[in-house]
Amino acid sequence: MKDSADEGFVEVLETNSLTDIALIKATLEGEDIAYFLKGENMTVIRQLDPVQLMVGKRDIDRVMDLLKPLKLSYNRLSL
């Protein structure tokens, strides 16, 4: 797991799939979980650059439970 300089957020997974990004956003926003996608804005310019899902340390287990049933094609799982 990678710690971020951003307060209490850690990297959970990395993907370069726009479909994964949309599924992750819809799932986490629907559950009111604080997150951000590091590098998301760069996907417009460089679509092959990966995006890192960053979530609060206290939400890691909940996020993993929510994402497990999704068919994501992530590059790296950071747990």
Query: How many CA within 13 A on the CB side of residue 1?
Result: 13
Residue 4 lies in a domain: no
pLDDT of residue 52: 93
DSSP track, 4-24: -SSTTEEEEEEE--HHHHHHH
**pLDDT tens, 6-56?**
469 999 999 988 889 999 999 999 999 999 999 887 665 666 678 999 999
The range of the structural domain enclosing residue 14 comes to 9-77
Residue 16 lies in a domain: yes
Residue 3 lies in a domain: no
Residue 1 lies in a domain: no
CATH code for the domain in which residue 15 is found: 3.30.70.790
**pLDDT tens, 48-66?**
678 999 999 999 999 999 9
Residue 2 lies in a domain: no
- As for how many domains the chain has, the answer is 1
